[in-house]
Amino acid sequence: MTSDRLRLLLPMMSLAVLLGAVFYLQPRAMSYFGLNLLFNLAIPVALATIAQMMIIMVNDIDLSVGTFVSFCACVTATFVHDTPLLGYAILATAILAYAALGALIQLRGLPAIVVTLGMSFVWGGLAVLILPSPGGASPEWLKTLMGLKTPLIPIAVIAPLVIALVVHLLIKRSWVGVILQGVGGNERAMERAGWSVVRLRAAAYGLAGLFGVLAGMCLVGLTTAADANIALRYTLLSIAGVILGGGEFVGGRISPFGAVIGALTLTLAASFLSFLRLSPDWQIGAQGAILILVLAVRLLFLRKEAAA
């Protein structure tokens, strides 16, 4: 078994265990309707996690994912709904801005953690400017798409799988992906091989921007309206999702399937604790405990693997 497969095995097992526990606690969840309710809010989380993964892939970290997704949600609920052309133009500009940030970070040797932290206030401020009070409306097609009644398997299960597959093909099976991972693996070697690291980093950030935009749009499709603070939690959720899914902060070691499974696991963990009727005072702590538990088990696995 390759190391990549092994990396994926653990997140899958944790998801399966949690899912089993949830089904045991709440048998009603074991249905088309139930699975949809359980997982549909995980779709935007999964997309945001993929966005974060693109950044972590090049050894950076993005603290602005949450506010960026909120910003995109606000744009979707206002401009995309009222004046679609302008709306999509704003979203495209946002993606370009993300790519420009990547280039800037590389050119000036800035720490990404500081730049993105600063940007989080910019996105947050823009979101409030666009939507000073909660409101707006989802474009009709988006609402229809997110509420789609797919045959047999609910969209909440299909969508994350499709997202993971597409990103997997892009990152793991195409030359672009291999080179981008190379930036995380050994930046200098890539430079010596004649690649422009500025462009590559810009590309990685641009991809992150793209998935951030998709996350914002999906979220609005689900909630049918936006709020400037709608997705603040996504910053930490996305980082946790990437790591939970077998990614590492350095070395370009990431897994698209893992990241999506990580996002699903985190969403499910919250539901599990809620079904347990655990007091809210303990819930955050318990969520953290689940995270630490999974990571601890992974460490054991990897040690064994290294020893073998």
Partner 1 sequence: MTLKAIMLGAATGIITLTAAVAEADTSDKRIALSNNYAGNSWRQAMLESWQKNGDAAVAEGVVAAADAFTTSENQATEQAAQIQNMILQGYDAIVINAASPTAINGAVKAACDAGITVVSFDGIVQEPCAWRIAVDFQQMGREQVKYLAERYPDGGNLLEIRGLAGVFVDDEISAGIHDEVKNSNFEIVGSVHGDWAQDVAQKAVAGILPSLPEIVGVVTQGGDGYGAAQAIGATDRSMPTIVMGNRQDELQWWADEQASNGYETTSLSIAPGVSTLAFWVAQQILDGNDVPKDLTVPFLKVTQDDLVEALKTTPKGSVANVEYTQDQAKDVIATAK
Q: Which residues of the chain form contacts with partner 1 (CB under 8 A)?
A: 26, 28-29, 33-34, 37-38, 40-41, 44-45, 133-136, 146, 219, 222-227, 229-234, 267, 270-271, 274-275, 277, 280, 283-284, 287
User: What secondary structure does DSSP assign to 130-179, as a single string?
Assistant: H-SSSB----HHHHHHHT---SSS-HHHHHHHHHHHHHHHHHHSSHHHHH
Pick the closer one to partner 1 by CB: 26 or 170: 26
Cα separation, 63 vs 117, in Å, equals 5
- Contacting residues for 208 by C-beta, under 8 A, at least 6 apart: 51, 52, 54, 55, 62, 65, 98
Give me the least distance between CB of 71 and partner 1, in Å please.
Answer: 14
Tokens of 166: 């597409």
Q: How far is the CB of 61 from partner 1 (least distance, A)?
A: 21
For partner 1, give the closer residue by CB, 208 or 222: 222
CB of 41 to partner 1, least distance (A): 5
**Cβ–Cβ < 8 Å for 275, 25:** yes
CA distance 154 to 69: 24
CB of 273 to partner 1, least distance (A): 8
Spatial distance between the Cα atoms of 83 and 187, rounded to a whole number of angstroms: 42
Residue 230 or 244: the one with the smaller Cβ distance to partner 1 is: 230
Cβ of residue 191: shortest distance to partner 1, in angstroms? 40
Give the residue with the Cβ less far from partner 1, 42 or 202.
Answer: 42
Give yes or no for a contact between 55 and 259, defined as CB atoms under 8 angstroms apart: no
* Pick from 183, 64, 175, 83: nearest CA to 124: 64
Q: How far is the CB of 186 from partner 1 (least distance, A)?
A: 37
Residue (52 or 223) nearer to partner 1, CB: 223
Between 29 and 214, CB nearer to partner 1: 29
